[in-house]
Chains A and B, each alone.
Chain A
């Protein structure tokens, strides 16, 4: 299993540009999430999905869109990039353990700089 994969690894955008961060998982996990990680602020949830066709907002959703047409893929779209969106973005997938609780696995991250 490749686990959770993300592309690109690095990206530089100019203010106002749009782009899509790709995320895929091959573990057949029901749940997927996007986080951003900033120094001193930890991981903050942007959007999440509980299954194909179902998405919802996390704590910092403004400026981002998501969709989930398949179990495997969960792209994150930046509509009009702003310097405040400079961050490291992590995609994660999770599943409900038979023994109870959830386990979550992360991708390697996309390092985004907006100038």
Chain B
């Protein structure tokens, strides 16, 4: 079983829709969870950083962690065409936190 698994998509939604992006993970000791956004032909950029369980909100973006299910989600409200990108979840390793497990990414297209 891979440490982090992510629905690859692709996902296509109309502008204004609520988008849900998801990852599952295997190790209950993971504590920190990140979401990156990667535009086409660009490097990943850090979007959200959460610790332990619960929700964190930043504008139209909400990151949610459910440690009981080992499930992390990124919600995008009022999605915009500029949100079209690939979204990757990432989790720092437990013993060597400067190394990370990455999901394979979910490609999102928001149609105007």
Contact = CB atoms under 8 A, between A and B. Distances in A.
Interface residues on B, range: 20 to 34
A41 B103 CA distance: 9
Interface string B27-42: 0000110101000011
Interface string A1-14: 00010000000000
B32 A100 contact: yes
Interface residues of A, number: 27
B102 A42 contact: yes
A42 B88 contact: yes
B12 interface: no
Contact of B49 (A4, A30, A103, A107): A103
Given A42-B102, A42-B105, A100-B32, A105 B97 contact: no
Given A43-B88, A101-B32, A96 B98 contact: yes
Interface of A: 4, 30-31, 33, 40-43, 45, 48, 50, 58, 90, 94, 96, 99-109, 111
